[in-house]
Structure 1
Amino acid sequence: MSDPDDPAGTHDESDDETASASATPDLDDPQFYLNRELSHLAFQRRVLHEALDDRTPLLERVRFLGIFTRNLDEFFMKRVGGLKQQIDAGVTDSTVDGRTPREQWAEILETTAPMFDRQTECYREVVRPALAEAGIEILDYDDLTTDERDRMRAYFEESVLPTLTPLAFDPAHPFPFISNLSLSLGAFVRHEGDEDEGPIFTRIKVPQNRPRLVPVEEGSRYVLLENLIEAHLDLLMPNVEVLDTALFRITRNAEVRHDQEVAEDLIEAIEEVIEQRRFATAVRLEISADAPEAMVTLLQEQLDLDPAEVFYRDGPLDYRDFTTLTELERPDLKRRPWSPLPHPRFSEGPTADATMHGADLFDEIARDDVLLHHPYHSFDGTVQRFLDAAANDPDVLAIKAAIYRTASDSQVIQRLIDAADNGKQVAVMVELKARFDEQNNLQWVRKLEENGIHVAYGTVGLKTHTKTALVVREEADGVKLYSHVATGNYHSETAKGYVDLGLLTADRDIGQDLATVFNFFTGPSLDESFRKLLVAPVTMREHFTELIRREARYARAGRPARVVAKMNALEDPDIVAELYRASMAGVDIDLIVRDICRLRPGIEGVSDTVSVRSVVGRFLEHSRIYYFENGAGPDDPAAADEPNPQYFVGSADWMTRNLDYRVEAVAPVTDPDIREQLRFVLEVMLHDNRTGWEMDADGEYEQRTPGDDPVWSTQEILMDAARAAHECDDDHGLDTDHPASPGDLLVTGDEADDDGD
């Protein structure tokens, strides 16, 4: 494994492929690396832009306001919380970009303040007036008519008041516990007639089990619950004078850890982590812009917050609940509807019919590999159906699955239980350390074990992030292995909104590799040799490094050389350094990175041939695709035996944690039809001029615009392609003969007529 603090750790200076030190820039220099946290915040600016962009349908803009809140909440809980822990521990080491934890913390707070202001401005100046114009009003309480106020007062007394509990802070009462991300109303009060009494701070939690947007008139007029509570404090706290009020919300650190020394302690350790999060250190205070200074000071002192961690908000403090407006029947304010479609390779019968069609499904996979593309293809009609068939087919001997996250009402888990009930051997790896899903996964572990299924909880020092399943089936010509290698979780709900890929294959080498990985979950060690899969943390880094270096060799030899990589994050300094060297050798490199990217494109003499793009649309881009041109010649027979070009799909980003500290699996794609589908996806994304963004060398992004050219919107094109394939029963699953295809971008040189294969 490489040292994440040594960006040149995998580089052999004696290698004859490497230019002399005098001719090569010092790739240890921090100037060549963007900061991870600030790069992530750049992504969040792109998310917020969807709410600001007047081309985005209005209720979608509301949804993106909520997504931005949720994303920044998680960022503060995980990343800012982790930095505060490092600061408190006295850590002063610099990251590869040259920043200490304290410097990163300070820059984050300075960067996020105007982002929150922009979100508030977007709501107050753009979204809220536009909603009102469309007949959906979010009113201040003072804007209600007398009759409406009477009805709201009655609703408050009957449905809200009984749920409220005012908590005073005075000599007789300790400072109240304030839970993470809960919305609170703070009030300074004193008893009526006692002018000499000092103000008493009282906290009222805004209940999360009451509608946040209280309908005054269903579908058209709403008032916020916190405003309703504030207007009726006389009912909640009679016989006191309310001197001042302010809304506030705190964020607590989620980066709490417990070192587990032995596997059987893991469940207890995870339960302790969940409990510790409730009382973890505060890392942010959001409060009304007009809050009294005395209340801000009190909260800072009691929560041990730095003044820089206080964010004054001139509007709602939490936009997550506003997404309930997207449920209104207002198609004129939404995108065109999309429902995931069945894959053309599978029949459209209900998944409950899997016992009748299981053999046909496995025969179909054995005929040719199948590429699933969610949410264009239905999760229930593909992945769920695969597991349904495995659970009920009498010829299936065993099922193994790795669960990182799954739905709270998971049918995936239920099918594994059904399989065990049907006498099949079932082994499940449930990653208890999946952050924010620990409680959900603990519940599934208990249910699986109650049904006699062997469950592995994870491994000491590693997270299991691979998204894989293996089905062992006895057939006339022997035992066959059917594998599912995916980029996304076995989660039916996120599969409707996350763009992910899944490869279904009967390739025996891949199946045997998966069997080896699953044996590691229950056995003592991880094998370090695999037939086809790239597996972290043992072989993946080495293989990806060699693939990048090979492209550099070919570029120096004057052969076609290209790398196209689509991922969520490019963070690993070693991989960034390898890409810089490849660019200096002349390799064309296109990176499609949704989120964090440490690499700076367009640096003269270092990354001239590199482009970095990002796509932000209605679905969250979550798939990983890796493309290497592989222009091998007769002097490189080993590489010449590999497909030209080479494609890989799987669960791993190019992050240090994925390559060195997680169990991951990435599979090569050899089927010509699937390779063509992947080529089409990458081609469309690289031409996107509607939802695509391009990075400059400073790490700033500019949204691409069509100008006079046709509009290329990746997800719209892929929806059209899936619909066309469904209507014409195209075996590919995507119609890659899209009438507006942008051409053979991935094909280089004289090979532009052979579709890149």
Structure 2
Amino acid sequence: MSFDEQNNAIEREPISAKQQLSTQFDLDSSEWFLNRELTWLEFNRRVLHEGQDSRTPLLERVFFLSVVGSNLDEFFMKRIGGLKQLVGAGVKKLSVDGRTPQEQIYDCHIVVQDILKQNQMLEKELKTRLAEAGIVLMGYDQLTKEQKTFANNFFSDNVYPLLTPQGMDPAHPFPFISNLSLNLLVKVSYPNTEHAYLNRIKVPVDSGVSSRFIKIGEEDLYVPIEDVIANNLDLLFPGMVIESCDFFRVTRNAITERDQEQANDLLSMIESALRDRKFAEIVRLEVNPDMSMPLRGLLAAELNINEEKDVFEVEGIIAKRHLMQIAELDRQDLRFPPHQPVDHPELAGDDPNIFHIIKQRGSILLQHPYESFDTSVERFIKEASRDPKVLAIKMTLYRTAKQSRVMQYLIDAAQNGKQVAVVVELKARFDESANILWARSLEEVGIHVTYGVVDLKTHSKVIFVVRKDFDGLHRYAHIGTGNYHAGTARGYSDLGLLTCDAVIGSDLTELFNYLTTGYTLARKYKKLLPCPNFLKKKLLEKIDRESKLQAEGKAGLIQLKTNALEDKEITIALYKASQAGVHIDLIVRDSCRLRPGIPGLSENVRVISIVGRFLEHSRVFYFRNDGKEEYFISSADLMKRNLESRVEVCTPVESPRLQALLREMLDIQLNDRHSCWEMQSDGSYVQLQAQQGEDARSSFELLIKNAEKRLKTTHRMLLKKGKAASKKKK
């Protein structure tokens, strides 16, 4: 159903607000809220399904299996780690959905165990399919004699020098086990003796020294490196009897933040926190199913974990995240059709100056990865660094690539005599080390580096440029939903706004003054809705406004696209709007507390999740507002932490032509019948299927085609214009 048809349907069938409110609900009751952690795990079931789906190209299926493994690693480090800290602190406070921290851990473990079973079944299937396609993953024992010789020689030349067996006895205490490292636990003895000795061998993979899978010969035949090590232990323990060899892996808590207010030097504090993380408590031990119970017990005791609750058997490959090596093999026949982001049509003309284009157009909406990041965002900062009329550049940095052109352009700008200021978020989870290095590199060339506001993460994505045009100073900006990371810009679905709107420019001046001083008093914003002080309040007001308009007989419509809906107050406000008869569409990638489809409470709410080729990452907020439509794009998810404890930026998109692009995108996703999952009232999801006459293509395919079509249309117009000009000259 199109957007106009949907609006007409709402208007044809008005729902009485009194009728909806006739059933009373206690909206503080835990039964109306889903658990954040469990709904996030359900999202990973949907990711796993992409690997199970036979419609997905084979190596892409391997990719999704790898992603699930990586996501579970992060889940244990961040979410289970945080819950264990609460348990350790004796916290008994119930979550919004009515669970204690320990109950949440227990329920999560049950779901994780089920996901692990599905992972193993999928791994077996994919190995069979890969072999049929000429890519073979096998164990050392399955190799021929010649192949074993190749593997042994590779081990001797490339792996053996890197290994350091560590004994465990009174003279050699139990060694430190680093986070996410893959290890061998080897039990050896002297010939004709009963006493055995234990040794740990760290597999040199996570350091980036070696690949997880060793290619045997010239064919696409791969063997896990740990299997090759396990079959060459005679070189490490000459003359000894190898009694057993097992594999294990630990996951450590990543929640090790210190008190920022008590820190004299934030940079030193973060560096100390990173050191703390290396030695943080262990929250998960993964072992192969054949490991004996005595050895499991020994490991659990030495690692100070609960053997019954924190030990997970993993059949097949431990650390499935490393399957990314296989997923990245150069076999285009086993991948999605090639996708090359196109240039934005409004930036593809003959004008070499991006500031002239922005000034002429007013604002430009960018859609990544469908439109190129490097010819839009990177071009914007590149030209700003070189343009003699640009006087100052300010930017927020949350995540970026290790070899970032954006950062290099900032350095170039400083060396070209421009004032450059960068707000670096040092506490961007798992990017702290990279951001520390960038902060120091920027400072070395004279860039003014600050670290944001005490106790608030700076999660906004903004580049702000002050340029001296012929008619005075003008402010230009890029405001985005995604990070300034060229890599993720090719795999994440994000939005950005290039603008020279004077009011937005004025608001950004206020924002950067806040970020560099931390002072909030008397700051006023006319268009931007920043967090933590403005966005949540305004969203609640706009949701309530739709309810009031509905009560007046004016069809209310709210559409929110976000990665997560976790905030209780926003959820309650949406419930109330639904009770008032407002139609609500929620496109929520992962965690969602709201339960749709409950009679009298949320039957006017539809919740969908889009999962597929690209990672959905953009945030869009739409309010019908009795025909005076409002569109916003935001860096903030609808989570309490984002709305109340982070510096975020939400900007209106006011141009009708740009609103039309957002409308097109929302409609395509709301009508997706390939990659769309619809939430049921119990929190489960059903994947939608195309019926007869419906488009079976995914929203990703359609958005790729639309971006290409827009560029082709522009090229035809430019060509036609050029021919007309040529005729005129003749």
Instruction: Pick the TM interval, shorter chain.
Output: over 0.9
1:557-596 deviations in Å (ceiling 9; x for gaps): 1102100000000000000000000000000000000010
After TM superposition, the structure 1 = structure 2 runs for residues 719-738 of structure 1, keeping only pairs within 5 Å, are 719-729=704-714
Question: Is 2:170 the partner of 1:171?
Answer: yes
1:478-498 deviations in Å (ceiling 9; x for gaps): 111111110001111111101
Name the Cα RMSD after superposition. Answer: 1.8
Question: Is 2:496 the partner of 1:511?
Answer: no
Partner of 2:705, secondary structure, is: helix
**For the residues of structure 2 that align with 1:715 and 1:721, how far apart are their CA atoms?**
10
**For the residues of structure 1 that align with 2:674 and 2:518, how far apart are their CA atoms?**
50
Partner of 1:652, secondary structure, is: coil
Partner of 1:210, secondary structure, is: coil
Q: What is the Cα deviation at residue 362 of structure 1?
A: 3.4
Partner of 1:92, secondary structure, is: coil
**For the residues of structure 2 that align with 1:175 and 1:131, how far apart are their CA atoms?**
40
After TM superposition, the structure 1 = structure 2 runs for residues 351-366 of structure 1, keeping only pairs within 5 Å, are 357-358=352-353, 360-366=354-360
**For the residues of structure 1 that align with 2:21 and 2:57, how far apart are their CA atoms?**
54
Query: Would you say the 8 A contact 1:345–1:731 is kept in 2?
Result: no
Q: What is the Cα deviation at residue 331 of structure 1?
A: 1.9
Question: Is 2:545 the partner of 1:550?
Answer: yes
Name the residue aligned to 1:638.
Answer: none
**For the residues of structure 1 that align with 2:649 and 2:88, how far apart are their CA atoms?**
36
Question: Is 2:562 the partner of 1:562?
Answer: no
Change (3 A) 1:581 1:610: same
Q: What is the Cα deviation at residue 67 of structure 1?
A: 0.6
Partner of 2:495, secondary structure, is: strand
Question: Is 2:587 the partner of 1:602?
Answer: no
After TM superposition, the structure 1 = structure 2 runs for residues 524-603 of structure 1, keeping only pairs within 5 Å, are 524-526=518-520, 527-603=522-598
Query: Would you say the 8 A contact 2:358–2:498 is kept in 1?
Result: no
Name the residue aligned to 1:310.
Answer: 311
Partner of 1:217, secondary structure, is: coil
Name the residue aligned to 2:634.
Answer: 650
**For the residues of structure 2 that align with 1:460 and 1:670, how far apart are their CA atoms?**
33
Question: Is 2:495 the partner of 1:501?
Answer: yes
**For the residues of structure 1 that align with 2:706 and 2:361, how far apart are their CA atoms?**
23
**For the residues of structure 1 that align with 2:126 and 2:682, how far apart are their CA atoms?**
31
Partner of 1:499, secondary structure, is: strand
The one-letter code sitting in structure 2 at the alignment partner of 1:160 is V
The one-letter code sitting in structure 1 at the alignment partner of 2:228 is L
Query: Would you say the 8 A contact 1:263–1:460 is kept in 2?
Result: no
Query: Would you say the 8 A contact 2:632–2:653 is kept in 1?
Result: yes
**For the residues of structure 2 that align with 1:365 and 1:54, how far apart are their CA atoms?**
48
Name the residue aligned to 1:71.
Answer: 71
Name the residue aligned to 2:722.
Answer: none
Which one of the candidate residues 627, 636, 651 is aligned to 1:667? 651
Change (3 A) 1:146 1:56: same
Q: What is the Cα deviation at residue 368 of structure 1?
A: 2.8
The one-letter code sitting in structure 1 at the alignment partner of 2:146 is D
Query: Would you say the 8 A contact 2:212–2:224 is kept in 1?
Result: yes
Name the residue aligned to 2:38.
Answer: 38
Change (3 A) 1:276 1:187: same
Partner of 2:265, secondary structure, is: helix
Query: Would you say the 8 A contact 1:548–1:579 is kept in 2?
Result: yes
After TM superposition, the structure 1 = structure 2 runs for residues 160-239 of structure 1, keeping only pairs within 5 Å, are 160-195=159-194, 197=195, 199-208=196-205, 209-239=209-239
**For the residues of structure 2 that align with 1:328 and 1:521, how far apart are their CA atoms?**
44
The one-letter code sitting in structure 2 at the alignment partner of 1:574 is E
After TM superposition, the structure 1 = structure 2 runs for residues 448-459 of structure 1, keeping only pairs within 5 Å, are 448-459=442-453
Percent of aligned pairs with the same amino acid: 46
Q: What is the Cα deviation at residue 295 of structure 1?
A: 1.2
Change (3 A) 1:496 1:243: same
**For the residues of structure 1 that align with 2:525 and 2:399, how far apart are their CA atoms?**
26
Query: Would you say the 8 A contact 1:725–1:731 is kept in 2?
Result: no
Structure 1 gap ranges (5+): 1-16, 350-355, 633-643, 733-757
The one-letter code sitting in structure 1 at the alignment partner of 2:525 is F
Q: What is the Cα deviation at residue 538 of structure 1?
A: 0.9
Query: Would you say the 8 A contact 1:135–1:220 is kept in 2?
Result: yes
Which one of the candidate residues 407, 410, 433 is aligned to 1:413? 407
1:26-64 deviations in Å (ceiling 9; x for gaps): 100000000000010000100111111111100001111
The one-letter code sitting in structure 2 at the alignment partner of 1:565 is L
1:616-642 deviations in Å (ceiling 9; x for gaps): 01110000011100006xxxxxxxxxx
**For the residues of structure 2 that align with 1:528 and 1:102, how far apart are their CA atoms?**
42
The one-letter code sitting in structure 2 at the alignment partner of 1:612 is V
**For the residues of structure 1 that align with 2:262 and 2:655, how far apart are their CA atoms?**
42
1:298-319 deviations in Å (ceiling 9; x for gaps): 1111112121111111110112
Partner of 1:59, secondary structure, is: helix
The one-letter code sitting in structure 1 at the alignment partner of 2:672 is D
Query: Would you say the 8 A contact 2:564–2:591 is kept in 1?
Result: yes
Query: Would you say the 8 A contact 1:289–1:314 is kept in 2?
Result: yes
Question: Is 2:267 the partner of 1:270?
Answer: no
**For the residues of structure 2 that align with 1:583 and 1:22, how far apart are their CA atoms?**
13
Q: How many residues align?
A: 696
Name the residue aligned to 1:713.
Answer: 698
Structure 2 gap ranges (5+): 1-16, 718-730
Query: Would you say the 8 A contact 2:347–2:357 is kept in 1?
Result: no
Name the residue aligned to 1:256.
Answer: 256
Query: Would you say the 8 A contact 2:247–2:288 is kept in 1?
Result: yes
Name the residue aligned to 2:378.
Answer: 384
Query: Would you say the 8 A contact 1:684–1:712 is kept in 2?
Result: no
Q: What is the Cα deviation at residue 731 of structure 1?
A: 11
Name the residue aligned to 1:680.
Answer: 664
**For the residues of structure 1 that align with 2:220 and 2:76, how far apart are their CA atoms?**
34
Q: What is the Cα deviation at residue 184 of structure 1?
A: 0.7
**For the residues of structure 1 that align with 2:193 and 2:201, how far apart are their CA atoms?**
22
Q: Extract structure 1 runs of 4+ deviating beyond 3 A.
A: 17-24, 360-366
1:155-209 deviations in Å (ceiling 9; x for gaps): 11111100011111111101011110011111111122322x1x22211111111
**For the residues of structure 1 that align with 2:496 and 2:675, how far apart are their CA atoms?**
24
Query: Would you say the 8 A contact 2:362–2:501 is kept in 1?
Result: no
After TM superposition, the structure 1 = structure 2 runs for residues 435-514 of structure 1, keeping only pairs within 5 Å, are 435-514=429-508
Partner of 1:394, secondary structure, is: coil
Partner of 2:690, secondary structure, is: coil
Partner of 1:345, secondary structure, is: helix
Q: What is the Cα deviation at residue 21 of structure 1?
A: 9.8
Question: Is 2:597 the partner of 1:614?
Answer: no
**For the residues of structure 2 that align with 1:586 and 1:496, how far apart are their CA atoms?**
39
**For the residues of structure 2 that align with 1:296 and 1:458, how far apart are their CA atoms?**
45
Name the residue aligned to 2:325.
Answer: 324
**For the residues of structure 1 that align with 2:452 and 2:77, how far apart are their CA atoms?**
23
**For the residues of structure 2 that align with 1:285 and 1:498, how far apart are their CA atoms?**
31
Partner of 2:352, secondary structure, is: helix
Change (3 A) 1:70 1:273: same
Change (3 A) 1:365 1:250: farther
Q: What is the Cα deviation at residue 424 of structure 1?
A: 1.1
Name the residue aligned to 1:402.
Answer: 396
Change (3 A) 1:731 1:556: farther
TM-score after normalising by structure 1: 0.90
Query: Would you say the 8 A contact 2:261–2:455 is kept in 1?
Result: no
Name the residue aligned to 1:102.
Answer: 102
Q: Quick check: 204-213 or 67-76, which moved more?
A: 204-213
The one-letter code sitting in structure 1 at the alignment partner of 2:425 is E
Change (3 A) 1:731 1:694: farther
The one-letter code sitting in structure 2 at the alignment partner of 1:576 is T
**For the residues of structure 2 that align with 1:492 and 1:111, how far apart are their CA atoms?**
34
Q: Quick check: 37-46 or 524-533, which moved more?
A: 524-533
Change (3 A) 1:558 1:22: closer
